[in-house]
Amino acid sequence: MTAASHPFPVTTSQAVRQALLDRTEIALVDVREEDPFAQEHPLWAANFPLSKLELEAWTRIPRRDTRIVVYGEHDGQDLAPRAAGVLRSLGYTDVSLLDGGLGAWIAGGGEVFRDVNVPSKSFGEVVEARRHTPSLSATEVQALIDRKADVVIVDARRFDEYQTMNIPTSTSVPGAELVLRVRELAPDPGTQVIVNCAGRTRSIIGTQSLINAGIPNPVAALGNGTIGWTLAGQTLSHGASRRAPAQVGAGNLEHARTGARAIADKAGVKRIAFGALASLDAPGRTVYRFDVRTPEEYADGHLPGFASAPGGQLVQETDHNAPVRGARIVLADDDDVRANMSASWLAQMGWDVFVVEPVGDAQRSERGAPAANRPATPDVATVSPATLSSWLEAGDVAVIDVTASANYVKRHIPGAWYAIRAQLAQALRQIPPARRYVLTCGSSLLARFAAADLRALTAADVFVLEGGNAAWFDAGLPVEQGETRLAVPRTDRYRRPYEGTDNAAAAMQAYLDWEFGLIAQLDRDGTHFFAVA
């Protein structure tokens, strides 16, 4: 790829690497779907599928003059110029293409990583190696359960993940809640506390959080999480609903505050008064503002301009939440525990992090979830579910569903074809020609953007289903299930070896082996700036 072949400037792999080493702000944007992204990408690349770029860009890259470098070759197509055009239309002024794309990055000796959330996962491996985070094997934990030992098992994942599958007797305590609430579950300092997740990272970070914050109990990670449990031939539970107590006693809260503040100070976390927040908005600086409490607490009242990002998942998914490497991150809570603990980890990952000093409830004046920050949807012709039903009976329409493939498989309009928005041209080669096309998705939002793309590819009439699939289902109209009509492969989501309950043992073991190799990859890459306190 050369500068003469497209209207966008190019940035070399060396220049991207230098920006990372200089710790100046840059967003390295991979616009492929999640599965090809997860197969190989640079450490600090952030996945922004072209299919959903308008829906995500303004929220995830809030400053319009951010330096953005784009790449995205897949199946013989270079998606990057299309994505750069979208970004420019959204008002971004410093957009370039990665010169030679991912191939040039690799050819130049650039390290590439597999899976998703790699910065956080590789950081977890560094933490374990540097701090020698204690762990117990699945068989050792099972033995403790069998003999009814004095043990508390806490699951540091999201609650929905915990409900899907969990270690028997465990309680859901998502990562940022651990230091705040564990003393309520294990008031006796002699009680053994075990932290688990699906694989390794959240177990390691959760365990080390409790140790760093000075909990007096013996603490250990469940070695290799639910993957290790399954590989040991042990049985998981399903549908559990145990949660930590919502209320924290005054004494336990003070212990948690003292421990969290100490480790945050040690990690170099900065503090800022609520009234001084505007001072962070300097020219050329991106500032992410996150409320790290639970979504329910956030909805009940939060600081203006702060987005909901529960702390455990924020640390786990930094590449998604803060794709601009070198940006500032500001965290808030209402207990002076969760923000400090989350910030301590982000600071150790090389982020410039601030915690908002405690404020009164009156300052948390915003309620509910803020409106999504995205451009207005294109003007499109629409059709009602009832009319579409009659068109389908007449047989003169093709329905194209651009929803997530997992949702399509779960249920969809009979006869509908699954397609990825960015791959509509390929999809049309599989879908029989029709006099008119109807686009749909879960709510009709993505379909409205896709309609403009489709109109450029066909002379046929293009419509969008009013209210999307939700309106069709609510109307009680027929549904179909399964991979009945895939116009393109299901590459929109990477199948994680640690999710769900039907993963092959070989895939789970391969995932663990991959995690064990991350430190060596970090050493070869050299751009991480991880510093474990």
Residues found in the chain: 533
Q: Which pLDDT value is given to residue 1?
A: 39
List pLDDT tens digits, range 396-416: 899 999 999 999 999 999 999
Distance CA 396, CA 40 (A): 42
Q: Which pLDDT value is given to residue 181?
A: 98
pLDDT cut 90: percent of the chain above it? 93
* β-pairing verdict for 307-308 and 68-71: unpaired
Q: Which pLDDT value is given to residue 2?
A: 38
Nearest of 396, 400, 391, 390 to residue 448 by alpha carbon: 400
Side-by-side strand order, sheet with 307-308:
270-272, 352-356, 328-332, 287-291, 307-308
Mean pLDDT of the chain: 96
CATH 3.40.50.970 fits 382-474, yes or no: no
Band of the pLDDT at 512, cuts 50, 70, 90? confident
Mean predicted confidence (pLDDT) in 513-526: 93
Q: Give the CATH number of domain 3-115; options: 3.40.30.10, 3.40.50.620, 3.40.50.300, 3.40.250.10.
A: 3.40.250.10
Q: Which pLDDT value is given to residue 501?
A: 65
Q: Hey, which bits of 426-479 come out as E strands?
A: 436-440, 461-465
Mean predicted confidence (pLDDT) in 27-41: 98
- pLDDT beyond 60 at 231: yes
Mean predicted confidence (pLDDT) in 429-440: 97
List pLDDT tens digits, range 190-202: 999 999 999 999 9
Q: Which pLDDT value is given to residue 209?
A: 98
Fold type of domain 122-247: Oxidized Rhodanese; domain 1 (3.40.250)
- pLDDT beyond 90 at 505: no
- pLDDT beyond 60 at 393: yes
> Can you identify the CATH homologous superfamily of domain 264-363?
Rhodanese-like domain (3.40.250.10)
Distance CA 13, CA 43 (A): 13
- pLDDT beyond 70 at 44: yes
CA atoms within 13 A on the CB side of 290: 31
Mean predicted confidence (pLDDT) in 262-277: 98
Which segments of the chain belong to CATH 3.40.250.10? 3-115, 122-247, 264-363, 382-474
Mean predicted confidence (pLDDT) in 58-62: 98
Instruction: Tell me the DSSP string of 382-419.
Output: EE-HHHHHHHHHHT--EEEE-S-HHHHHH-B-TTPEE-
Structural contact between residues 57 and 63, judged by C-beta atoms closer than 8 angstroms: no
Band of the pLDDT at 514, cuts 50, 70, 90? confident
Q: Which pLDDT value is given to residue 4?
A: 42
Band of the pLDDT at 524, cuts 50, 70, 90? very high
Would you call 206 helix, strand, or coil by DSSP?
helix
Mean predicted confidence (pLDDT) in 507-527: 91
